[in-house]
A and B are shown apart, each in its own frame.
Chain A
């Protein structure tokens, strides 16, 4: 999987580990959930070859490792990122979760990062962890 390019149609998940990133009244994600920091890349999990249950398992592992609750995930496609002049690339390595990928190509200027993050947030679908919210 680590060397398989990310296809445009592939679904990707940003794991949401704080309720602060969720607009509860509309169950949508705030752009801050997609802002990269400290590195100018955004960690996501590829859905490819994973069942729904396996995807949640990865999310729970990430949350447990970081001592945070798994609030849910923000799903979007690689194409959604590429429409913002970003790219999705495989990024598997020891210490990283299975099916890990990075959204790269972020501009260094924060206003542009905010704009890109807002565009992705507008396209993303928030899926709460069952019974999380």
Chain B
């Protein structure tokens, strides 16, 4: 069985669809559903990042003593966007109180991956998959870490 939507891009196979096109829990256990995600380009993420920089570029933007996003954080966040593998679902972009830029892939509050890009060429990540969790740090220069891609895929698979 295949479920699809138009104007979208294939990403992974699962019995769950985040777009609400199909309720996977009513499928037979062995059924196959293909999840389609809206196509986006890096320009849209750059626009999101620029908007974030505008809103969170100065200290105290959160009302709780946050650092503003530094030019170094902004620059490395752009590099991170360039490194995103084709077909990866579109992340939302936020700022951390320490001035780092965070990318979030999220299906629900307990099913998500957070990746914080640190200006000293490091990414910190944390992920929840129901009761399971994962976290860690990796160096980042310009290559998207393979292990991170697997975590993001897992968010959209049940």
Contact = CB atoms under 8 A, between A and B. Distances in A.
Interface of A: 15, 17-18, 20-21, 23, 28, 30-32, 35-38, 43, 62-63, 66-68, 109-112, 114-115, 118-119, 121-122
B94 A115 contact: no
A118 B112 contact: yes
Contact of B95 (A15, A20, A28): A20
Interface in B46-66: 52, 55-56, 60-66
A66 B61 CA distance: 10
Contact of A115 (B60, B102, B135): B135
A111 B104 CA distance: 14
A122 B110 CA distance: 6
B56 A20 contact: yes
Given A37-B66, A115-B126, A115-B135, 14 more contacts: A18-B61, A20-B55, A20-B56, A20-B95, A21-B62, A32-B95, A37-B97, A38-B97, A66-B60, A109-B137, A111-B126, A111-B135, A118-B114, A122-B128
Nearest to B52: A20
B86 interface: no
B114 A114 contact: yes
A63 B96 CA distance: 19
A32 B128 contact: no
Contacts of A23: 92, 106
Contacts of A63: 63
B126 A20 contact: no
A18 B63 contact: yes
Contacts of A15: 63
B98 A114 contact: no
B85 to A, nearest CB: 22
Interface in B21-79: 52, 55-56, 60-67
A122 B109 contact: yes
A25 B64 CA distance: 24
Interface in B122-158: 124-126, 128, 133, 135-137
B125 A114 contact: yes
A38 B64 CA distance: 9
Which among B62, B98, B102, B110 has the highest number of chain A CB atoms within 10 Å? Answer: B62
Identify the 7 closest CB pairs spanning chains A and B, nearest first.
Answer: A17-B63, A37-B97, A68-B63, A114-B126, A122-B109, A115-B126, A111-B135
B116 interface: yes
A30 B118 CA distance: 19
